Amino acid sequence: MRKAEVIEGLRDTWQVFRVMAEFVEGFDEMSKVGGCVSIFGSARTHPDDELYKTTVELGKKLAEAGYGVITGGGPGVMEAGNKGAGDGGSDSVGLAIDLPMEQEANPYCSTLIDFRYFFIRKVMFVKYSEGFVFMPGGFGTMDEMFEVLTLVQTLKIRRIPCVLFGMKFWQGLYDWMEKTMFAEWRHISSEDLNLFHRTDDPDDAVKYIVDFHKRSPTRKGRTIGRGDTREIGKITRPKK
């Protein structure tokens, strides 16, 4: 075996330990965080954009309903979700990813974890989220949305509330799923189109998630964040 092949083999072996270390750090940090809803969306959304302002409002309403918020920790929609959660007094978690384009973490994360690997980051999103809201976004948002829906569809994870926020943005994709994937090609079932809820209203999105958990016997109460005992749909502060 040539020396270069030996070195490459050692790199592969040590990469296993790097992956393990990232999993351990992620599990350790996220185990300290209470029930959260993940908000996905474009990093390119400007603070002056109406979508940014709506996401801030959504994050705050989720916090007031007793949830923390998890985002990818970057700018745009992610920043807005974290800002809203902080304004609402709840956990504001950022799961950042190291990228060549130098994407800076936003300043509104009360907990920030950096990841090298996308797949480990995705595990953290799925394992520690009580719901998902997919705001308008790009390839990354599409990837995260379809991964979550696939896990629910194939029963790899429990049924969890998923919201597609922005009727105009998602309408074309929904029509394609309904008319092409389902009606024409039969590659999905009609029930698969019910795995998510569509809305333009932050109040409606939060209500859908809250009502979903109220119907689920395994979602009665959660300990959200450090020091705040909260139940789904209301917040109870500990006595001083």
> pLDDT by residue (tens digit) across 173-192?
999 999 999 999 999 999 99
Average pLDDT, the chain: 88
The DSSP output letter for 40 is E
How, if at all, do strands 68-71 and 162-165 pair?
unpaired
pLDDT, average across residues 33-60: 97
pLDDT at 10 over 70: no
The per-residue pLDDT for range 15-36, each reduced to its tens digit, is 999 999 999 999 999 999 989 9
The mean pLDDT of 192-212, rounded to a whole number, is 98
Return the pLDDT at 184.
98
Contact by Cβ (8 Å): 224, 34: yes
Q: Is the pLDDT of residue 148 over 90?
A: yes
Strand order across the 228-231 sheet: 221-224, 228-231, 234-236
How high is the pLDDT of residue 1?
A: 55
Question: What is the pLDDT averaged over residues 123-149?
Answer: 97
Residue 221 has pLDDT above 50, yes or no: no
pLDDT of 224 above 70: no
Helix/strand/coil for 153: helix
Record the pTM: 0.87
Residue from 103, 107, 88 nearest 37 by CA: 88
Residue 104: the pLDDT is: 84
More confident residue, 169 or 104: 169
Where residue 235 falls among pLDDT bands split at 50, 70, 90? very low
Which sequence spans correspond to the domains of the chain?
3-236
CATH architecture observed for domain 3-236: 3-Layer(aba) Sandwich (3.40)
Provide mean pLDDT across the span 224-232. 38
pLDDT at 240 over 70: no
Residue 98 token pair: 């190291």
Let me know if 178 is exposed, middle or buried by CB neighbors in 10 A (0-12, 13-18, 19+): middle
Residue with the bigger pLDDT between 12 and 177: it is 177
